[in-house]
Structure 1
Amino acid sequence: MQQINHQNYDLVFKEAFSLFENRSLDFLGVDLPRITGFMETEIPEVETHDDMMDLTFRLEDNTILHLEEETHLSRDDLVRFAHYDLRLYNRYKTMIHTIVLTPFTGSKGVQSINTGSLQYTVTQLILGNRDGDALIEKIQSALKRGEEINELELIFLPLMRSSLSVDALLRKTIELAKEIPETTVSQKICVLSLVISNRIVDEETLEELWEELQMLKVIKFAEKKGREKGREEGQIKVIKQLLTRKFGPLPQTLSQAIDTLDSSTLDILTADILDIERIEDLKQYIPKW
């Protein structure tokens, strides 16, 4: 999936993963609060892997869901996950639920480690126990009747047990997704199915399907957002530099508040910044500060 500009990679997935918002994973048998949003995953000193990104979601009770995919869950994987979770905890000071999804090509692995002073456990869900062929029939029938389906089930279909080959199952998933009347939902499912299948489908198939999906609006929208984000980051940097020159080091709360400003507010603040005489005057642009 190298066609996506690397700096916009997270934005593409964040836009697609918005499909998870206000949804639950109860179809997986996971008893957790509903998902309220996809979280950024850029945490300093955390080792990342190009073949699959860490997926983190904010839940309704303000805890965090850390979702991973591993075919063969090892002790080294748990050490890496634990490192990541400790960084998450250090930043957000809240409970973290780590769930590892294992496709039908995998098996039960190491689910806990005990270092003496530290015990760490993940929940492993082996999707090979799920009947993908039965789910295909169920979704096909529902779509023909014009009934609603569980979109998240369709996203995880490529990881389930099936009489189809891995590649064919992924293609079938995308074929079903394209039958969904709501175009935006259909497009997001296609993108996420490729993300989920990244470790189990051969690179040639992924490249072929990803190139086909480049025409999707969700990807174009995310790329556009990536360019806008780059412009906004430049504005924020200049604004902070100018304010620091005028008022000295900025309070951390102010600096963080500036980071959250939308593009229109940034434009107004950029135009007015030379006329601001007191740091308190910034409250008219940043009410939450």
Structure 2
Amino acid sequence: MIKNKIRKRSGTDKTWKDRVFDLSVYGIAILMMLIIIYPLWFIVIASFSDPADVSNGNVWFWPEEWKLDGYIELLKQEMIWRGYLNTIIYTLVGTIIALLVNIPAGYALSRKELFGRKWISIFYLIPMFVGGGLIPTYLVVKNLGLLDTFWVLVLPFSVSAFNIIIARTFFRSSIPESLWEAAQIDGCGTIRYFLTMVLPLSKAILAVIGLWTAVGIWNSWFDAMIYISNEHLQPLQLVLRRILISNESLLGTASGELASELRRLSEMMKYAAIVVSTLPIMCLYPFLQKYFNQGVMVGSIKE
């Protein structure tokens, strides 16, 4: 009798309650996926659609008529290409510097033999809750001579207390202490152990912190607006903001058919700017998704 019950519960023999539960789970998962994906898809199709069709509610899942006017007008701007190049350089250099700073700091805090480890950890935790403010930060950056330079977007904000704590948690939970003991027996020093054994086993946290940093730098525009006035050093997000603001100012001086045409192009350029600015990160994310999920789980471990 017991064997028959177990046989019914296993394999494809499911009760109607199990099937209803499975269908409910799949239905909720599909609904959540649509809620997340549809706004992104709507931005894409709106960038190829006439603004009148979008405002009238005629665009839902496919454009009424494919139009490339927004992308053509946006890519005609020469400053777009300079902003793209600047943002790519800022993201690459800033991500490398952040990894060089935060990963060793997190590893050092994970070591039990570190003198004053508790107080150093508290020192790192304080900036997570208390910030210095915009004006003191601006004065520090100015006194360091970083205003209107390439390094102002990659050096002052490269240290992240949150990333350091996440890296520390990862090293504590994922790198066994016995590995360090075995390395010591073989005559391996601390630096060599970190470079040749710890880092190859830490691809997950490297990818996670690298992705977080890259996304933050890529989407950053406020820091550039505050610290950079040189147009040749401005990143893509700030360049797009300037283009959209200049289009709005042109609308105020135009009238008649010219005003309606400028308004149509301005609306299409807004959607095109969103797609252009987010496309590289969206293409990069699927390759690092599994590491991103691991990084989120690392942060949930209670010590």
Q: What is the TM-score normalised by the length of structure 2?
A: 0.21
Quick check: which one's helix share is greater?
A: 2
Larger radius of gyration: 2
Which structure is richer in relative contact order (CA contacts within 8 A, separation 6 or more)?
Answer: 2
